[in-house]
Amino acid sequence: MPVSLVFLAFGLATAVTASSNAPTQAPAFLSHLQRSTAACGVRGRARRRTTCRLAETEGETLTLFSPSKVNLFLRILRRRPDNYHDLASLFQTISLGDSLSFSALPTGASADVLTCTDSSVPTDGSNLVVKAFDLFRRKSGKNKFFRCHIDKKVPNQAGLGGGSGNAATALFAAARLTASGDGAVSQEDLLKWSADIGSDITFFLSGGTAYCTGRGEIVEPLAALPHAPPCLYVVKPDEGLSTPLVYKSLDLSALSPEDPDGLLRCFCAETADRWRLVNDLEPPALKNLPSLKTLKGEMGELYGVQEGKGLENTVMMSGSGTAVFSLGEPVGGKEAFKKFVADRPTLRAWRCTFVNRPGNSPEQWFEETTVEPL
């Protein structure tokens, strides 16, 4: 399926292409965006520097932060002949993430070793990290196996892309751990390969803010958004929903009428404007799990808004759910949100920020930024 990745905000003149069944035209105005990469990243927040050492000898460890993401808008455009759906979505990485430690196994190893702090996460060949290592060997021709340990913080079945982020981090780590000698693997190589194992993985190899089309694998990186909120709150109920179930319940005759180009202009505008949060996967998710609608409404009340009166600009489900996020501080500040969560002990919640790769550089990885569990 032809995939086109144009590094608009990175200032690179390279376009990376792979195969695709249904290429999607990007908004014309994107080519005219002039953004300063000096604004990329997160300023004025406590950071922990990511350990990013090149492994010159077997056994050295590379520790990387693997962020999750939210979809600031997600429009479903059509069902494709291959039964996938074309979408248009603005993806943004956030400070809620996992910590992954990698090392190269000794010469002669014949299998990767994956461990995880969350026993519900599979550590066999079905895990996207193992699939990423397999993909790396197949595409690069490097017969190297790896050890990876995941310190898991991102919940499953949340719509936050935790598994895809881990896979992208594993591809980046494999390239770093095999960088010495001939045949070093480039960022462009990883971008071309990544869609083979998952639609969202290519996004996590971008700078952290990107407009994604096709199945999600056509990624157009952007500079950090102007007017980003000082924080966002991410709330995850106990219940989860599978992505196939949500798509199966999607009513194509009841999609949002919002134009994706207009939504993107709103988010990228240099002048302050109210962001419009739209997610075409939210109605089928709420149909399958009505308690999500209650949760969304109760979170809106913290901000003094309700359905039809500003809720659409403040609170939304991410991806196919079931995590729900809200932008900015509520009325009463952080303490009000803490009380909200304390009164609902089945919820997990975090106070987060947007994050971007330093300088939006493809040569550097995401830095771990403080996230506050509530």
Structure tokens at 227: 């007017």
pTM of the predicted structure, to 2 decimals: 0.85
Pairing of strands 85-104, 209-213: antiparallel
pLDDT above 60: residue 17: no
Which helix (H) or strand (E) covers residue 167, if one does?
A: helix 162-177
Question: How far apart are the C-alpha atoms of 371 and 231, rounded to whole Å?
Answer: 10
DSSP assignment string, 348-366: EEEEE-B---GGG-TTSPP
Residue 136's H or E segment, with its range, is helix 128-140
Question: What letter represents residue 125's amino acid?
Answer: G
Is the pLDDT at 9 greater than 70, yes or no? no
CB of 323 closer than 8 Å to CB of 240:
no
Of residues 136 and 25, more confidence is placed in 136
For the chain, domains (ranges, CATH) are: 4-225 (3.30.230.10), 232-352 (3.30.70.890)
Q: Per-residue pLDDT for 139 more than 50?
A: yes
Query: pLDDT of 41-87, one tens digit each?
Result: 333 334 444 444 444 345 689 999 999 999 999 999 999 999 999 99
Q: With the C-alpha atoms ordered 76, 77, 78, 84, is the resulting torsion angle positive or negative?
A: negative
User: Rounded CA gap, 113 and 96, in Å?
Assistant: 25
- From 146, 122, 125, 150, select the one nearest 64 (Cα to Cα): 150
Distance of alpha carbon 228 from the chain centroid: 16
The whole-angstrom separation of Cα 226 and Cα 35 is 10
The predicted structure's pLDDT at residue 47: 44
Of 54-68, 90-104, 128-142, 260-274, which gets the smallest average pLDDT?
Answer: 54-68
230 CB-contact burial (10 Å; exposed 0-12 / middle 13-18 / buried 19+): exposed
C-beta separation of 112 from 146 below 8 A: yes
d(CA 332, CA 301): 11
- Residue-wise pLDDT for 311-323, tens only, equals 778 999 999 999 9
